[in-house]
């Protein structure tokens, strides 16, 4: 008998008890991140929660995880001292009322690493000053009008004005912002004066806050369109005392690209969305960019809308003016609109928005107004003069894509877009989704991928550029390189380089075959393709089928799914004036996942009686092929005619033979060979005659060949129809492909 093996220490787990003070007031804690990883999520308004993520950093073999009880203390007026803190600090401790905090009750925080990772609780507090009026919080945070209301009226943390000093316009603005789904998520610290904080909110929403000189109430006006120019007050020589300043910016003073920095709600890190005015770029001969920070925005869709708002004003040479008016303008306030007629400067029907107003003195009753041309009125504003042109500006409205493809990501993309650590944790059953889209017109910017489960609303997952595309002529089923062949309807092909791969779509808009671009000549309009690459096989394509080049244009959903799931996806086009309506992808509103990336690759170099994809054969059927291995085929795109690679451990092959039929492939299954470990299989003539029941060889056979591993068949299967020499090729058609 051997002696008992002595145990040894392989590492240490680290535990910690501590109190984390978060903020003064909150509605709930909804998530806890440690080391930028979510260890708990829910919605607690106080009490004890339990974090159970012991393997979040790799378990005991790596850096452990987080596990243990945490007391959430919301700081209410009735809160009592925490028993865990009392047991360690003594009974004479405060209850910590008025402060939201968390107490870790000896929580495991790591293993094999004595340095605590940063904790980041997600805290939610939504101001509800008009909750009785049917207001609900917009997506992504609180109603900005409600934030301003609290900043004005709260005694602790605000200015402390009485509620009566808040005018009715704040309620009206709150209603508009709710309809716009304009929610903000901001953290205010006392390092920033409250008036500066209010201005930050106003900058986000495009609003003006002023104090009414007659009522003394604070009023909020949103800079928006949707007004009737005919209802605006008109000022001209009868009530304008003088025009002191008038200038219109030149194109060289405008900006044609706006980059909005917003906060990603998933990571709470800054992200950027960029929009451009293509006409302005052409007019100036280059890009003039400006970066604007809106940290309170946490949704990409809202950031894009705000970027378009800012770009519209920044890219247009607007007029600025300072005028002196008589006392008829005594009720003109910041944010108001009016129409100016001033024949001396050939101004007629110019819609202006008030920026600042000086109401004069008792000795001088003139009212001085600084205003700027309103961007929302440009389509209806006329300027007197004869400098007309025939130019019609292009429409900047979002247009649904010409074509789009929702597809499972192949292992090629998984391996090339994952770190070695992430790839090691990827299971064969993990399934990923991406989308490609083809632009409908050159005025479109990009597209958004929204996905969901068909029950709850779809969620914005990614934004990406439109993919290059072309229409191909008829292609035979061939393992050889095809081309150069002429293409038509090529769009945005300049980024395409040899080595890129793409998908040829079938009549339903699904993937029929993956091909590699070997050469492209946009001047001649020709392309050379390597057929049936990655996990696909060569098939027949009639003329008019679309090729979409993947390149860097795939929008990845970013979620890990499982085979059998049904994903509903929508494409939302993004153009110069915003985001368009979501439209179903071209292959239907849903796709059921097959676990593509975890399936074995089909074999390559398939030959029948020594010929690749023959139309006719004589004598005994002998099928040969070459091994393929998805795990090893990540350095370059392997072609059909290459020799053995692999195979992936556990891979076998299945050969199924269907007998004589018209059309080919519709006959009875004659014989199936399974579990083939090698790279060849013979179908003897005597066996064929016996299987057919015809007393002779069949006039045609359809041969199906695919890989199998661990209960999974290859995602695509070779399907080849051959005719017996002497019978001719029925229908003049070579069928193939699944």
pLDDT of residue 567 exceeding 70, the answer is yes
Phi/psi of residue 314, each to 5°?
-75, -25
Check whether the bond before 484 is cis (ω within 30° of 0): yes
* Top-confidence range, 134-143, 291-300, 659-668: 291-300
**What distance separates the 2 farthest-apart alpha carbons in the chain?**
120
CA separation for the pair 380, 382 (Å, rounded): 7
pLDDT of residue 253 exceeding 50, the answer is yes
Q: What is the pLDDT of residues 74-105, one digit of tens each?
A: 999 999 999 999 988 999 999 999 899 999 99
The DSSP string of 121-148 is EEEE----TTGGGT--PPTTSB-HHHHH
Higher pLDDT, 386 or 715: 715
Higher pLDDT, 60 or 534: 534
- State mean pLDDT over 358-382: 75
Residue 530 banded pLDDT, cuts 50, 70, 90: very high
CA separation for the pair 100, 718 (Å, rounded): 63
Phi/psi of residue 107, each to 5°?
-90, 135
Percent of the chain beyond pLDDT 70? 90
The DSSP string of 94-117 is ---TT-EEEEEEEEEEEES--SPP
| Structure confidence at residue 735 (pLDDT) | 36
- 10 Å CB burial of residue 3 (0-12, 13-18, 19+) is exposed
Q: Which of 138-142, 219-223, 502-506, 560-564 has the lowest mean pLDDT?
A: 138-142
Residue 6 banded pLDDT, cuts 50, 70, 90: very low
- State mean pLDDT over 680-704: 89
CB 485 within 8 A of CB 528: yes
Q: Which of 227-241, 682-696, 714-728 has the lowest mean pLDDT?
A: 714-728
Taking the CA atoms of residue 171, residue 172, residue 176 and residue 178 in that order, the dihedral angle to the nearest 10 degrees is 20
CA separation for the pair 524, 22 (Å, rounded): 65
């Amino acid at each position: 008998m051997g002696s008992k093996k002595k145990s040894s220490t392989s590492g240490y787990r680290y535990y910690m008890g501590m109190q984390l003070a978060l903020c003064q007031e909150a509605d709930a804690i909804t998530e806890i991140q440690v080391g930028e990883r979510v260890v708990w999520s829910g919605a607690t308004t106080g009490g004890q929660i339990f974090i159970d993520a012991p393997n979040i950093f790799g378990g005991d073999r790596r850096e452990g995880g987080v596990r243990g009880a945490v007391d959430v203390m919301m700081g209410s007026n009735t809160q009592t001292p925490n028993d865990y803190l009392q047991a360690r600090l003594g009974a004479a401790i405060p209850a910590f009322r008025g402060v939201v905090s968390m107490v870790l009750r000896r929580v495991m925080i790591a293993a094999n690493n004595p340095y605590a990772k940063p904790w980041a609780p997600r805290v939610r507090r939504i101001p509800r000053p008009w909750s009785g009026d049917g207001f609900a919080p917009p997506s992504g945070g609180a109603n900005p009008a409600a934030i301003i209301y609290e900043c004005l009226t709260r005694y602790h943390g605000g200015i402390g004005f009485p509620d009566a000093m808040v005018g009715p316009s704040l309620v009206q603005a709150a209603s508009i912002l709710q309809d716009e789904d304009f929610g903000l998520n901001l953290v205010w610290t006392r390092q920033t004066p409250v008036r500066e904080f209010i201005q930050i909110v106003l900058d986000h929403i495009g609003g003006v806050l002023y104090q009414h000189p007659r009522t003394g109430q604070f009023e909020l006006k949103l800079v928006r369109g949707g007004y009737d120019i005919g209802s605006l007050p008109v000022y001209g020589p009868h009530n304008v005392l003088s025009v002191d300043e008038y200038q219109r910016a030149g194109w060289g003073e405008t900006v044609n690209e706006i980059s909005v920095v917003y906060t990603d709600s998933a990571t709470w890190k800054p992200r950027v969305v960029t929009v451009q005015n293509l006409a302005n770029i052409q007019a100036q001969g280059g890009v003039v960019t400006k970066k604007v920070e809106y940290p309170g925005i946490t949704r990409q869709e809202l950031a894009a809308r705000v970027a378009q708002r800012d770009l519209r004003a920044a890219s247009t040479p607007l007029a600025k003016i300072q005028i002196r008016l008589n006392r008829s303008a005594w009720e003109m306030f910041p944010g108001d609109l009016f129409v100016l007629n001033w024949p001396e400067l050939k101004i007629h029907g110019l819609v202006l928005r008030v920026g600042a107003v000086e109401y004069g003195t008792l000795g001088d009753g003139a009212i001085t107004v600084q205003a700027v041309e309103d961007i929302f009125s440009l389509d209806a504003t006329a300027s007197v003069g004869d400098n007309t042109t025939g130019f019609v500006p292009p429409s900047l409205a979002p247009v649904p894509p010409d074509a789009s493809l929702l597809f499972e990501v192949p292992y090629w993309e998984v391996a090339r877009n994952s770190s070695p650590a992430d790839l090691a944790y990827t299971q064969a059953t993990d399934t990923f989704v991406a989308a490609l889209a083809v632009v409908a017109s050159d005025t479109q910017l990009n597209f958004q991928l929204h996905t969901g489960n068909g029950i709850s609303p779809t969620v914005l997952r990614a934004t990406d550029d439109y993919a290059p595309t072309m229409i191909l002529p008829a292609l035979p089923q061939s393992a050889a390189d095809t081309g150069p062949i002429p293409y038509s309807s090529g769009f945005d092909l300049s980024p395409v380089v040899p080595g890129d791969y793409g998908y040829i779509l079938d009549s339903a808009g699904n993937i029929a075959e993956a091909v590699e671009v070997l050469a492209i000549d946009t001047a001649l309009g020709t392309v050379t393709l390597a057929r049936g690459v990655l996990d696909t096989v060569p098939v027949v394509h009639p003329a008019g089928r679309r090729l979409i080049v993947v390149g860097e244009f795939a929008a990845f959903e970013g979620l890990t799914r499982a085979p059998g799931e049904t994903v509903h996806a929508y494409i939302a086009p993004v153009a110069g004036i915003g985001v368009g309506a979501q439209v179903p992808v071209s292959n239907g509103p849903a796709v059921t996942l097959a676990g593509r990336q975890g399936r074995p690759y089909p074999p390559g170099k398939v030959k029948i009686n020594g010929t690749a994809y023959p139309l006719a054969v004589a004598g005994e059927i002998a099928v040969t092929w070459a091994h393929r291995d998805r795990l090893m085929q990540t350095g370059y795109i392997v072609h059909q005619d290459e020799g053995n690679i692999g195979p992936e451990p556990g891979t076998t092959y299945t050969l199924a033979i269907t007998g004589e039929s018209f059309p080919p492939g519709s006959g009875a299954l004659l014989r199936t060979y399974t579990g083939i470990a090698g790279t060849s299989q013979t179908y003897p003539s005597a066996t064929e005659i016996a299987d057919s029941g015809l007393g002779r060889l069949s006039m045609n056979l359809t041969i199906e060949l695919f890989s199998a591993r661990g209960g999974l068949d290859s995602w695509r299967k070779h399907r080849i129809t051959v005719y017996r020499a002497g019978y001719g090729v029925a229908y003049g058609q070579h069928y193939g492909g699944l």
